[in-house]
Structure 1
Amino acid sequence: MTGHGASPQREMRRRNLSRVLHAVAEQGPCSRAAVAARLGLTRTAVSTLVEELLRGGLLTEQGTTPPGGAGGGPGRPGTALALTDAGPCGLGAEIGVDHLAVCAVDPRGQVRTRARLESDGRGSAPELVLTRLRTLVDEVAQQARGLGLRPVRLAVAVPGLVARGTTTVVRAPNLGWSDTDIASALADPGERGTIETPPLVEALPLLVDNEANLGALAELWLGSGRVPRDFVHVSAEVGIGAAVVLSGELLRGARGFAGELGHVPVRPDGPRCGCGGRGCLEQYAGEVALLRAAGLRTDGARDDALTALAERAGAGDTRARDALEEAGTALGVALAGTVNLLDPRAVVLGGALARFATWLLPALERELRERTAAPGVPPALVISGLGAEGPLLGAAHAAVRVVLDDPLSYLG
C-alpha cells in the first residue's frame, strides 16, 4: 500500500509505526520502555509513535506493568500497551472440495466470528460456488461490523494453482476449475445487490493464494515457536499440497506454482494422474487413494470416511494400517527429494496428514532416513497443531496483517 514518490520521512514513519505494532503483537501487553528496548529506539521516539497509534485506535492501554516485570522495563511502572480488539479486521475464506468457510480475525489475532457451509465443489460451476462464498463472506462481514470491527481485506485459500500476483486460479483439478478469476466472480453481486445494501465483498482488497501456502503461513505465525523459519509444510485434503518457507518467507517460484508435491512422481510407471502424469504422490497418499486402499467408500461424506479410517486403524485393522503405511512410504519418497534439494530444518504435516500421523510417521521417517543424502539426522517431523484449520486461519491472518505491516494506511 506504499504510495509511489512518498518522502523518506514518511516511509521511515510508516516503517517505525509497523515495527511498534509488531513488537506489541509479539510481546503481548507491554510498556513503552519494553518496546523501545526491543526496537532499539529512544523512549521519546516510541512515545510519539505510540500516541499516534493510540489516537488512530490501533493500540489501547491496559493498566500498568511492574518495573522490570514481564512486558515492563527498568525504572518506574509503565502503562501496558496492547493491540486493539476493535477497528480493522481481516476476513479469511476457504474454498474446500466439500465446504466453504469464512472467519473474521481482529488485530490481536483472535477469531471473532465465523461461518461454514457444507458444499460439494467437485464438478460445480465456479460461479455457483463463488456465489455461495460471497453470501457467506457478506454474512461474516456483517457480524464483524456488529462487534465493532471494520473489514479491511479478504484473503481466499483455494485448492489449486494461483498465478503469482493475480487472483486467477489457473488450475484446481479437484474442483475441475481452470482460469477462474476469483475477483471478478466475487465482485459481481448479481441480483442480490441493491443501492442501499451492496455486498461488502466487492469493496475489499482481495488476496487469493494456494491453501498450502496459507496453511504454512499460519504455522509460521501461530505455531508459538514450534515451527522454525525454514520448513516444508505438507497438507492433505482431497489432494496433497506443499509450501516451502525459507528464512520466514514463502518460496513461490517464478509463476507462483511452487509446492506441487502431490504431483511429484514416486513411481514413474504408476497409474495415470489427473494432472496428466503417472505415479504421482496423490495416487498413493491422496485421500481417495488412501480410502480405496483401506476398503472404504469414496463417494460419501469425507469426514465420515476419514473418521472410519482412523477408527479402523486405531482398532488394529490390517487393511487400514497397510494403506496408511503405503501412504507414509510414498510421502517419504517424495519428501526425500525435497529435503535433499532444500535442506529444511523441519517438515510440518498438516491437514488430514496430521490426523493420521501416528500411522504415517514410521514409514515416512524410515524413507527419509534411508534417502536423505546429508549426514546426520533428517529434518524434524512436526505435527501441525492447526490441522485442517490452517488454510482458513492463514487466510484471515494474512488479511489482518496488512494493518500491522502498513498502519499508516489505516490511521485517520
Structure 2
Amino acid sequence: MREPTASGRPAARPAPASQQTMRRQNLGLVLQQVAAGAADGAPPSRAEVAAASGLTRAAVSSLVEELIGAGLLAELPPAPSGRVGRPGTALTLDPRGPAGLGAEIGVEHLAACLVDLRGEARVWRRVPADNRGRPPGAVLADLAALLRATAAEAPGLRPAGLGVAVPGLVGAESGLVRRAANLGWSDVPAVAGLRSALRRAGAPELAALPAEADNEANLGGLAELWLGGHGGAGDFVHISAESGVGAALIVSGRLFRGARGFAGELGHVPVEPDGPPCACGARGCLEQYAGERAVLAAAGAGPRRGEGGLPGGAGAGTGGRGDWIALVADRAADGDPAVRAALDRAGTALGTAVAGAVNLIDPAAVILGGGYAELGEWLLPAMRRELAARVTVRPWSDDWLAASSLGRRGPLLGAAVGVVRAIVEDPGRFTG
C-alpha cells in the first residue's frame, strides 16, 4: 500500500526510469569505478568494473566504448598478469579529455589553472595583483586575460567549465558576490562580469562555459576532501586564511553550506566579547587576533637591516603589501621573538574558536589550510594547547589537528577539480 502524502492522498508512483536515463546513470557508474581505481593506483579492467558495479560484462564493454569515443576514457597497454590467456586491458581517465578551468581572485593576487580529467594540474599561473579597493571591472578584466593565456597554454585540452574562488560571501548559484570586505566589493555579479570580460578579451569560447563562483574557504575544503589524502574521513573542519579567516564544514562527505549558504564564517566568531572592533561591526572577532592585520601588528612591521621587512612596513619588497604569509614564516624560522609571539597569540585565538566548533559538530579532524598551513609549525602548538583545555566532554587527540598538504593551492584546485568531478559523476552530457 502506498504511503499517504501530507494532504492525505496516496503518493504517486515514481515514474519508471527510461532506457536513456538508465544508460546515463550506468555511464556515470562505470566512469566513477574507473576513476576510483585510477586514484588508488590500480586502473581496473572491464571485467573488474563489471564485478564492482554489478553490470554485465557486455553492458560494461558497450558503455566503455561510448566513454572512449567521447574522450572520457582511455585504454592502457596490456600488462602481463602471469595467468594463461589474453591479459585484460586496464582503463583510465583520458588525460586529453574535458578539462576544468579554475580561477582565483585574491586580495593580493590573481590565479588560474587547468586540470585534466584526472584532477592533475596541467597549467598553473599566479600573478601578484593589489586588488584591495580596485573596481571589480578592472579586476575581472585582468582575470579574463589570465584565463585566456592559461587555456592557450594547453591547446590539447578542452575546458568544459569554469570555477571561480572569491574571498567573500558568494551566492553559489547566482555567482553574485554579496560581500567581500577585504576587496571592498558588495553585490558584484562576478560570474556575469567575468563572462563579459572574457568576451572583450577575445575568448568567447571561455565566456560560454558553464561557470560558478564560490567562497575560497569552501573550495579549499572541497579540495581537501577530494585531494587531501585523509584516509576517506568525511567529517572535518577546514580552516584557511589569506587576508581573512574562513572555514569549510565537511559533513558526511559533503560541504555544509547552512540555510542561506553562508556557513563557515569562522573569522567573525568572537573570541573576546569586549575585544577590538572588527570591520564587520562586531567586537573581538577571531580575525582581530589571527587575521593578517592582527598578526602583522603584533609582530611589528619594521624591516630588519638589509631586508624589505614585513608587508605593511616601509620597503616591503614584493609589491603592494607583499606575501605576508611567506615573510612571517621566514621571520619565524629565523627565530624572531616578536613574530613567534604573534603566531602563538594567533594560535591561541584559533584554538579558542575551533574548540567551539569541535564541541558543536564533533568532526573527525581539524585541518589547517590556506596560508595557515605554511605557518602550522608555530600555530599548531598553541591550538593544541587550547583544544586540550576546552574540548573536555568528548574524546580529543592532538593527532586530529593537522596542516594541509595543499596549502594555498587548495581554493584554486577546488575550483578547477569541481568541474571535472561533475563530469565524472554525470558524463552523459559529454557522450553521443
Q: What is the TM-score with the length of structure 2 in the denominator?
A: 0.87
Deviations 1:246-275 (A, max 9, x none): 111000011110000000000010111111
- Count how many residue pairs are aligned between Structure 1 and Structure 2: 399
2:347 is aligned to 328
Percent of aligned pairs with the same residue?
A: 55
1:29-178 equivalent positions in 2, closer than 5 A = 29-67=43-81, 77-144=87-154, 146=155, 148-178=156-186
Deviations 1:94-148 (A, max 9, x none): 001111111111112121123222111101011110011111112222233x2x2
User: Aligned pair in 2 of structure 1 residues 328, 63: CA closer, same or farther (>3 Å)?
Assistant: same
Amino acid aligned to 1:158: V
Is 1:352 equivalent to 2:371 in the alignment? yes
Amino acid aligned to 1:251: F
Q: Select between 201-210 and 374-383 the one with higher mean Cα deviation.
A: 374-383
SS at match of 2:275: coil
Shift of 1:307: 3.1
1:393 to 409, 413, 417: 413
Is 1:200 equivalent to 2:188 in the alignment? no
Q: Select between 148-157 and 59-68 the one with higher mean Cα deviation.
A: 59-68
Shift of 1:51: 1.5
Shift of 1:226: 4.5
Deviations 1:181-228 (A, max 9, x none): 1122112248945xxx55333211111101011111111111234461
Q: 2:172·2:212 contact (CA, 8 Å) conserved in 1?
A: no
Q: Select between 392-401 and 56-65 the one with higher mean Cα deviation.
A: 56-65
User: Aligned pair in 2 of structure 1 residues 191, 170: CA closer, same or farther (>3 Å)?
Assistant: closer
1:294 is aligned to 299
Deviations 1:51-100 (A, max 9, x none): 1111222111111244499xxxx985210111111131110000011111
In 2, distance between residues paired with 1:227 and 1:392?
21
RMSD, aligned α-carbons: 2.1
Q: 1:68·1:75 contact (CA, 8 Å) conserved in 2?
A: no
Q: What is the TM-score with the length of structure 1 in the denominator?
A: 0.91
For the pair shown, the structure with the greater C-alpha radius of gyration is: 2
2:403 to 369, 383, 387: 383
Runs of 4+ displaced beyond 6 Å: none
User: Aligned pair in 2 of structure 1 residues 36, 374: CA closer, same or farther (>3 Å)?
Assistant: farther
User: Aligned pair in 2 of structure 1 residues 292, 220: CA closer, same or farther (>3 Å)?
Assistant: same
Q: 2:140·2:197 contact (CA, 8 Å) conserved in 1?
A: no
Deviations 1:142-187 (A, max 9, x none): 233x2x2111100000000012422001000110101011122112
Q: 1:157·1:214 contact (CA, 8 Å) conserved in 2?
A: yes
In 2, distance between residues paired with 1:202 and 1:357?
39
In 1, distance between residues paired with 2:117 and 2:16?
26
Structure 2's unaligned 5+ residue stretches are 1-14, 302-309
In 1, distance between residues paired with 2:123 and 2:384?
39
1:158-307 equivalent positions in 2, closer than 5 A = 158-189=166-197, 192=200, 197-226=202-231, 228-296=233-301, 297-299=310-312, 300=316, 301=318, 302-307=321-326
Shift of 1:388: 0.4
